[in-house]
């Protein structure tokens, strides 16, 4: 873009478009934040910002295990599923990027198929399987499907990263006396670290944001994740909608995502491999 000269007119039109898009995207988010600070009586108040700010919605959801426990589940299940998916995906992606083996194209095709498969179609059979295996309403009951759906994404992202790493580095490691496993762990994996972090973030987001599996394969707060638990919020009486607590919970589960991105974005640095081969 920098090389292309832009006229002031183009600048204005681009700027306007950008502002419109950002505003449209942010209005609902800010509205949610605003709702989370409104008192129950002011929920139906049409003004955008609350007239009286209150923390009561937050203190309400954070004082009960109905939300705290699912939050812990979300973090635990997300981290474990992400870890397993990245480890498995990096091995698979390494094979896909480096080796010619029979059935490679089938494997890639299957991975793509899983990635685009409508999850809703799998709910009923998976539900029956999990009931039969005793996985229903347990952590593994969610971790396993999350890993399964995170793997295709991981394999695709990571194989692209592995392909970028010069093959001669592995040859050098082998000649230096490394076993294939040592070459992978000591040379290839450190260089693919940015790719692994990227993959981890993507898989973690998918787990964290999932609602469908979480609501279908859980029945109590012992394994229900945060997004699903919000659906079970109840108002102060049968006839009040718990809008305030829902908004507060939504803000709470958004915060880790923002922190996650801000923290890891810096680590996704390009050019870590520069200097490996001649510049």
Partner 1 sequence: MAAIVLDQVTKRFPDGALAVDKISLDIKDGEFVILVGPSGCGKSTTLNMIAGLEDITEGELLIGGQVVNSKSPKDRDIAMVFQSYALYPHMTVRENMGFALKLAKTPQATIDEKVNEAARILDLTQHLDRKPANLSGGQRQRVAMGRAIVRDPAAFLMDEPLSNLDAKLRVQTRTEVSRLQRRLGTTMVYVTHDQTEAMTLGDRVAVMRAGQLQQFATPKELYDSPLNLFVAGFMGSPAMNFLPGTVEEGQLRTPLGDLPLTNQLRQELEKAGAPRDLIVGIRPENFEDASLVSADARPHGITFPATVDVIESLGSDVFVHFTKNLERGVDSAELRELAQDSGRANPDGGDEIVARLDAATHVREGEDVQLWADVRSLHVFDPATGRNLALSGRAAAPSSAATPAADAPASAPGTDTSADSPAESPDLPAQ
* Residue 182 is a binding residue for partner 1 (CB under 8 A): yes
**Closest approach of Cβ 122 to partner 1, in Å?**
39
* Residue 178 is a binding residue for partner 1 (CB under 8 A): yes
CA gap 137, 77 in Å, rounded: 12
First vs last C-alpha separation in the chain: 25
Q: Output the CA torsion sign for 240, 245, 251, 256.
A: negative
CA gap 70, 91 in Å, rounded: 31
* Residue 268 is a binding residue for partner 1 (CB under 8 A): no
* Residue 176 is a binding residue for partner 1 (CB under 8 A): yes
Among 108, 114, 172, 206, binds partner 1 (CB under 8 A): 172
* 215-237 b/e (C-beta count within 10 Å ≥ 16 → b): bbbbeebebbbbbbbbeebeeee
CA gap 264, 253 in Å, rounded: 18
* Residue 107 is a binding residue for partner 1 (CB under 8 A): no
* Residue 80 is a binding residue for partner 1 (CB under 8 A): no
**Closest approach of Cβ 155 to partner 1, in Å?**
23
Interactions with partner 1, residue window 152-171 (CB under 8 A): 166, 168-169, 171
Of 80-88, 102-110, 139-147, 187-195, the window that binds partner 1 (rule: CB under 8 A) is 187-195
CA gap 96, 148 in Å, rounded: 17
Contacts to partner 1 by CB under 8 A: 100, 166, 168-169, 171-179, 182, 186-187, 190-191, 272-279
């Amino acid at each position: 873009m920098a090389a292309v000269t832009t006229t002031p007119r183009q600048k204005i039109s681009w700027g306007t478009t950008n502002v419109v898009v950002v505003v449209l995207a942010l209005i609902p988010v800010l509205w949610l934040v605003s709702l989370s600070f409104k008192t129950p009586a002011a929920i139906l108040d049409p003004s955008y910002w609350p007239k009286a700010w209150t923390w009561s919605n937050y203190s309400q959801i954070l004082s009960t295990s109905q939300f705290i426990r699912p939050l812990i589940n979300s973090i635990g299940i997300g981290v474990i599923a992400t870890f397993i998916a990245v480890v498995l995906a990096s091995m698979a992606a390494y094979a896909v990027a480096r080796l010619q083996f029979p059935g490679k194209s089938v494997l890639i095709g299957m991975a793509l198929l899983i990635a685009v498969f409508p999850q809703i179609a799998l709910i009923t059979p998976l539900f029956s399987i999990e009931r039969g295996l005793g996985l229903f309403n347990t952590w593994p009951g969610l971790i396993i499907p999350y890993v399964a759906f995170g793997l295709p994404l991981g394999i695709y992202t990571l194989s692209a990263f592995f392909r970028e790493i010069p093959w001669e580095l592995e040859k050098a490691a082998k000649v230096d006396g490394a076993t294939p496993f040592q070459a992978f762990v000591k040379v290839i994996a450190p260089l693919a670290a940015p790719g692994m972090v990227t993959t981890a973030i993507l898989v973690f987001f998918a787990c964290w944001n999932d609602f469908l599996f979480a609501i279908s394969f859980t029945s109590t707060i012992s394994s229900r994740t945060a997004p699903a638990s919000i659906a079970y919020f109840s108002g102060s009486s049968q006839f009040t909608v718990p809008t305030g607590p829902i908004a507060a919970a939504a803000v709470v589960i958004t915060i880790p995502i923002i922190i996650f991105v801000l923290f890891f974005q810096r680590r996704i640095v390009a050019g870590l491999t520069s200097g490996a081969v001649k510049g």
